[in-house]
């Protein structure tokens, strides 16, 4: 799932940059409500795009762990955008996976 989400985000660079800025506010030590507020802000950006594209959420199914060969080219693209890779891996991807699973009723 990570690879497909990363590729999808790269396709939507404007949304990606907005999501990363929001994700920087995520603090693991904060309250559940504060964490949910960040996840909600991210959902408000990505869900309308997914709906407009009529993306089937099952199209994001796939491997959760990626090899260095799979991550390598993506890291280069994200770095070129000036995106903090750690924010993507530690915050954005887990939140997006949770959002997708929630709306897919898994």
Most confident of 3-7, 57-61, 92-96: 92-96
Higher pLDDT, 105 or 80: 80
When pLDDT is cut at 50, 70 and 90, the band that residue 60 belongs to is: low
Average pLDDT over residues 24-52: 93
- For residue 31, what pLDDT is reported? 95
pTM over 0.85: no
Residue reference for tokens 């940059």:
17
């Amino acid at each position: 799932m990570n690879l497909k989400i990363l590729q999808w985000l790269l396709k939507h660079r404007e949304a990606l940059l907005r999501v990363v800025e929001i994700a920087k506010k995520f603090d693991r030590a904060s309250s559940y409500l504060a964490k949910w507020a960040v996840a909600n802000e991210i959902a408000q950006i990505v869900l309308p795009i997914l709906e407009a594209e009529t993306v089937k959420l099952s199209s994001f199914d796939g491997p959760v762990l990626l090899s260095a060969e799979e991550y390598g080219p993506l890291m280069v693209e994200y770095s070129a955008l000036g995106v903090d890779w750690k924010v993507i891996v530690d915050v954005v991807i887990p939140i997006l996976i949770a959002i997708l699973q929630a709306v897919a009723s898994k």
